Structure formats: structure tokens, C-alpha cells
Chain A
Amino acid sequence: MRAVRFSVVTAAATVAALTAVTGCAQKSDGKGDGALQVVAKDDSCEVSKKKLPAGHIELAVQNKGSKVTEVYVLFPDDRIVAERENIGPGTKATITAEIKAGSYEVACKPGMKGHGIRQKLEVTGGNAAKRSPEMDKAVADYRTYVQAQADETLPKAKKFTDAVAAGDIEAAKKIYADSRLGWERTEPVAESFGDIDPKVDIREDGLEDGQKWTGWHRLEKALWQDKKLGAEEKALAPVLYKDLLDWQKRVGTADITPTSMANGAKELLDEVATGKVTGEEERYSHTDLIDFKGNVEGAEKSYELLKPIASKNDAALTATLDKRFAELNTLLDKYRKDKSSYEFTSYEKVGKADRKELSDAVNALAEPLSRLAAAVTK
């Protein structure tokens, strides 16, 4: 757990770009000046205008479909400008927002699931924050990845917390590390939710005075160190699941930019360098190498998405990064028998010299990775 690095979209954080106001649906008839009519059906999302002037806009939404829907105004990288959930069949809703010039999309999500049905929206006039389409694509793809990691984590977390709640130590131990993998892969984004991280991923020594210790590592200690699950631990399991549900729900709203992706990749390696390579992170379960691998995979994902941009600006850097990622992955593979599994050697069995080799390989990658942001923004 560290300081917040990605900022979450909140009213305060986005004042410079926009002010999103949702709600007050029933009070509006949806026919105000400049209102954008949105007709949502089960298989379509009709928008009355494709172009709007920048400034205060209003979306008058009618759900003419048979499913509950939600409607979003999105940046090209899928960041949310404004949204409204739970628009029932046959009902109306209004979404208002301050929008600067630029390209946007309106998405209707019948059943409140998936990618949604999209329509383009051009907002003109005023000052536009220009970004290249390839940067938007990188950010949008990373956003999808981050969400998918959270989505895949929840069922595993459920298995883990159910096992703890049932007092099944062996079953809980078995799924523990795997239940953390998605979090570890996207840690800088996950940690941007300053209120969730201290609840789910804090270690005992990170607690502030009076703070109650909850989350994975609290249960890790119970499973491996105390070797018993008492009433308190059993009660903490559903709390962890609930906090992770909160993460899954909110992770899509994180403010992600190409430079935050690049620096986030480096930060993942920093996580390894400070916590995993020393064995501090998983001091009871010694599953540090799984977290390590997850961090590297998450960093590699960011890098792969940014590589088309970075390689144009600094081909020597991307060549070095390709090489260093490969070297680190090869080194990590020494610690697992089967490359398709995440069963790694227990870190207590990794000797001093081998730990130094791992540390050197992390530095070898993290140092050039720290220059990726510059290569992306050139």
C-alpha cells in the first residue's frame, strides 16, 4: 500500500475538465434548450444530435426497451464524463454535464452490462484537450484490462472468503495467492482508491494508531502463523469480499492517462523492489513470487499497450524494455515448474544470492521503464 497515484474521477478532481451532474431525473421534462434526446432500446441507442456546442449540456433519456438500462457519456478512452444508472423500462431520466470541446461517446447499456451500444458525439468550441487516437486506444484498452482483472478477481475472492468463513484452513490457503493476482496486476489503479486499499491490502506494520486490521494479510497471518480461524477472522472474510466488490464497482472510474499508465508500470516494479523481493509482502504465506509475477504482468500489459507510441519516439528504449521483460520473465520461470500455472517456489526457499539476482533483474527493468513516460509524451 502506498500513496495515491492515480486520481479517481470525483467532482473535485475533474472541475478543470468538466462538471458532471447526475440525478434530478423526475424534475426535468427533457425538453430544455439544447437537450440531447437519447432513446434507449434493447438493441439501439439513438441520439438526436451528433454535434453540440461545448458547455452545459443536458441528455434527456427515454428507456423504450424492456430492460433496465444505464447511459454514459464517455471520453474516447472510456473514462466517464457523466452517467446515470437504473433507468427502468418506460421511464425517463436526465443527465447534465459541463463538457469541453472534444470527441465523446454516448453508451446505452441495456441490462446494465457490457460495452453498451455506442454513438459518437462531437462537442465543438472552447478549448479542446487534444489527444491522439492511438493514445486514447491505449488508455481504453488498459481500462478494459483493469476492469477485467477486477471482474475475474471477485469469484476467486468469494471462494477464499467463503473458505475462511467456513473455517476451512486448507481450502483458504490454496486459493489465497490466486485471489490476489488481479489486484496485484493492477495495483497502482487499485490503490488509487485510497479508502479501499487500507482495508484490503494493508500489512500489520502499516496500520495507524487505532486502525483495525482487515483484509488479505490479516487472514494470511491467521492461516499461516496462528494456524487457526477464530470468530473474528471468520467475520472479517465477508468484509474483505464486500470491500473488493466496492473496488470492482469503482475501478472503471479511475483517471487513467498514457503517462499514468507508463509510470504505473514502473510503480508495479517498485512494488516488487520494495516489498516482494525482500519477502515482506507475504511474510507468513511466502507467496511473494506470485505477487511478483502479477506485478510484472500488469506492468507488461501497460507497456505493450503503450509500445506502439513509445517505439516511434524511442525505438532503442522499447528494444531494451522488450529484452528486460523477457529476461525477468525467464528468471521468474526458474521458480515454477509449469509455465501455465502460478505455483511458484515458496519465497522462504529462495536464498540470498537468488534474491539478489531477482533484485538486480527488477532494477534492470525498472530503470529503463522509468523513461517510458517520457517516450510516450515526446
Chain B
Amino acid sequence: MSDQTQAGESPEKTSSPAPSRRALLGWGGAGLALGAVAAGGAVAAVRTENDAVPAADSGAAVPFHGAHQAGIATAVQDRLHFAAFDVTTKDRAELIALLKEWTRAAERMTAGHAVGDGAYGGLAEAPPDDTGEALGLKPSRLTLTIGFGPSLFAKGRFGLEDKRPEALVDLPKFPGDNLDAARSGGDLCVQACADDPQVAVHAIRNLARIGMGRTAIRWSQLGFGKTSSTTPDAQTPRNMMGFKDGTRNISGTDTAALDKHVWVGPKDDAGWMTGGSYLVARRIRMHIETWDRAPLQEQEDVFGRDKGEGAPVGKAKERDEPFLKAMLPTAHVRLAHPDSNGGATILRRGYSFTDGTDGLGRLDAGLFFLAYQRDVRKAFIPLQRRLAAHDALNEYIQHVGSAHFAVPPGVRDKGDWWGRALFS
């Protein structure tokens, strides 16, 4: 759809469920939270306490403000652009100013608005505030979720060493890890999820631009084909190995499970993190070609599920309760199951990635694993230790990038900003 047809000049185009960025800009000007009003009632203006409204309409806007950040329990969107940043400034005030600017830009972009004064119509001699590639596109359920890496809390940087949560550990080295420093770590991260890849890329690009001089992108990852679902009634997506992945994920509407396993509670170790979560990001490369040569029986044994239906070994339906002892002791599902890990549960939001080929003609593809939890020491770390030591899947995968972030609680309103509780 062209800019022109979205510009509000053609009233018959109102059949689209959400207005264009450009139309919103035209009606609202700067600073008006029009997303919900204009979107035909598809979403509520402020998310409820538990962030539990799945935005079913792929064009709609997901409210930015709330007790928790959007993009965690939110129904998983189709596309991802994840970016890790180094903070290049040494000045705490500059970092705070950046976080405030980012918050305001994120408010606008998630509502489907252009950044600042927009992508056109300004001074001819100056570059526009917004880069413009999302003009005419719907909000596409864009969510932007920020996280703070362990390195941000280092002594002598921003005076945050006393605020570093105990739970924000440096991840241990797991057997089999082959981590590339250029794809690991970061002082900050922003996870952009949207149903339109261009909307997600636009968001990261504009935040990176605003950040120049204060932050620099360390690495980033594009993802597609969500590999886990936070909406249990929906069809479970398949990963690059062709298997349904994430059948037993935490539902975005399961308030009790989220409070128990995902959201940091007021009595956990860092008060400023209450309502936040901890994110582990792992770039997991798959040895696609050797996997594709593996016999079907081996593939199914490795996972512990059948390839067609996704049913656990010996069961008929995907969602039938797995009988773990029927699986091989090295089966992925058996090892990863909460019952094998003292109840440890994570909320997965991973995406597949394919970054072309690797120079040897091998598909550079795999899983960009994203997991949210209340405390990695009780969730990801023991789980990954078990998997790294025993998982039959290890023959076909390798962890090549890794990062850990403290994801603060949500931005409450227009006066609030990402990280306020940490810096105040």
C-alpha cells in the first residue's frame, strides 16, 4: 500500500483495521496517545496489571505503558529485531537522557507514530527525525523491551555497582559453548517484536540513531517464525529442525504462573526490579545439513516427540501430558521438562534465524533463544547445565552467542521512563 492511499485522502480506505503512521501523525500531532482510539477499539489504552490482553489483530498497537514491559507476556509476534548496545558515554546524565529519549521514541513507535517531527515536511537542509521506512505501515503489534546487562553495573562506570541484582549473574561457561564475543554481551538490549519485519527493523534503527554518541550497537539479530507460543490455544510453531517447539510454554494469560516464574517479586533481591524479569539470549546455531541427513527415528528420539503431530513419545496428541520415562534419557524434551529440573520453568520467546550461508556453503541458521524468568540461577542455568551435559540435540547444535539482561518493570505513564527506578 502506498503512502498516498494511507494519507487520509481516501476515505474509502478506512477498511484497514488500524490507521497508518502517517494518518496518525496527521490527526494527532506530537504527544497524543492515539493508538487505541484510532485503532477501531482493537486494544485498550493501558494494559491491565498482568499484561494479559493478547492483541489478536496483527495490525493493532500494543499499549506501551503498564506494570510490566510489553514484549514478554504479550502474544508472540511474527518477527524480531534484537539489538545489544555498548554504552559509549561515560557520563551518567547522558545515559539517563538517552533512556528518556528512547522511552519517548518507543511510546511513539509502538503506537504507530513516526519519531520526533516525522520523516518528511521538515527543513530541506536537515535530515528528518524519522527514517521513514515504516510510513504507511500499521503499528503491527510492535513491542520494545529494554534490558540492562551486567557490564552496565561495573564499578567506576555509572555508580550502579550497588544496584546490581544478585540474580544478574555472569552466566557460567557451559560445556560445548563456542561463544563469539562479537555476538555476546552488551550493556543494554532492546528487543523489538512486531508482525511486520520492517516495523521491527525501523524501531531498532531509529533507537540506534538516537543513541549515537552515547551508545553503539554491539550486535543484533533478526528473527522470524516464532518458535514458542505464549498463547496455548494457537498452533505451536515449528523450529528450523521441523519440530514443534514450545508446546509447554508459559501462557501470557496465566497470571499465577507469570507471577511465580517470570516477574520479579518485591521480596526478591533488587527492589528496583519489582515487576521486571531476567532475559537470557542465546544464538544457537543448528548444523542443518547433518540434521537433515539424520534418520526420522533418530530425529524423533532426539526430541522425544513425533515430527508430524508433536505428540510426546507414546502419546497421541501434542498437548497430551508427556511420560518422561518413555523417552530416551538424553531426549531434549525429557531433559528440559520442569519435572526433570525441580519445577524450573522459563518463558520462551525465541525466533528462528537464517543469516544466509557461512562461506562453507552451510546454512547459517538456528534458533535465537530468548527466555524470561524470575531468576536465572533457578531457571536457565540449571536447565542449561543439564542440557549441555546430556542433551542428544547437542550433536546438531552449538551455542555461539550469549547475553544476560535485567529487564526492568514497565513504564507506567508519560512521565515515567525506562530504568527510572534504577537511576533514581
A interface residues with partner B (beta carbon < 8 Å): 259, 262-263, 320, 324, 356, 360-361, 363-368, 370-371, 373-374, 377
Given the complex, which residues of A lie within 8 Å of B212, measured CB to CB? 360, 363-364, 366-367
Q: Are B125 and A259 in contact (CB under 8 A)?
A: yes
What's the Cα separation between A363 and B217 when bound, in Å? Answer: 11
| Chain B nearest CB, measured from A200 CB (Å) | 29
Answer whether A377 and B125 are a contact pair too, CB < 8 Å, given A360-B88, A364-B88, A367-B209: yes
Residue of B nearest to A366 (CB): B212
Answer whether A320 and B125 are a contact pair too, CB < 8 Å, given A360-B88, A364-B88: no
What's the Cα separation between A320 and B209 when bound, in Å? Answer: 15
What's the Cα separation between A363 and B211 when bound, in Å? Answer: 10
The DSSP consensus for interface residues of chain A is helix
- Residues 213-238 of B, flagged 1 when their CB comes within 8 A of A and 0 if not, give 11010000000000000000000000
Given the complex, which residues of A lie within 8 Å of B360, measured CB to CB? none
B interface residues with partner A (beta carbon < 8 Å): 86, 88, 122-123, 125-127, 209, 212-214, 216
- From A363, A364, A365, A370, give the contact of B126 (CB < 8 A): A370
Q: Are A365 and B125 in contact (CB under 8 A)?
A: no
Cβ contacts A to B, 22 pairs, < 8 Å: A262-B125, A320-B213, A360-B86, A360-B88, A360-B216, A361-B88, A363-B216, A364-B88, A364-B213, A364-B214, A365-B213, A366-B212, A367-B212, A367-B213, A370-B126, A370-B127, A373-B123, A373-B126, A374-B122, A374-B125, A374-B126, A377-B125
The DSSP consensus for interface residues of chain B is loop
Given the complex, which residues of B lie within 8 Å of A356, measured CB to CB? 216
| Chain B nearest CB, measured from A312 CB (Å) | 17
Given the complex, which residues of A lie within 8 Å of B214, measured CB to CB? 364
| Chain B nearest CB, measured from A194 CB (Å) | 22
Residue of A262, A368, A373 most packed against chain B (CB within 10 A): A373
Residue of B nearest to A257 (CB): B125
Residue of A324, A366, A371 most packed against chain B (CB within 10 A): A371
What's the Cα separation between A370 and B127 when bound, in Å? Answer: 7
What's the Cα separation between A373 and B214 when bound, in Å? Answer: 22
Given the complex, which residues of B lie within 8 Å of A377, measured CB to CB? 123, 125
Residue of A nearest to B213 (CB): A364
What's the Cα separation between A364 and B126 when bound, in Å? Answer: 17
Given the complex, which residues of B lie within 8 Å of A366, measured CB to CB? 212
Given the complex, which residues of A lie within 8 Å of B86, measured CB to CB? 360
| Chain A nearest CB, measured from B81 CB (Å) | 19
Residue of A nearest to B218 (CB): A356
Given the complex, which residues of A lie within 8 Å of B213, measured CB to CB? 320, 324, 363-365, 367-368
- From A263, A361, A364, give the contact of B125 (CB < 8 A): A263
What's the Cα separation between A367 and B214 when bound, in Å? Answer: 11
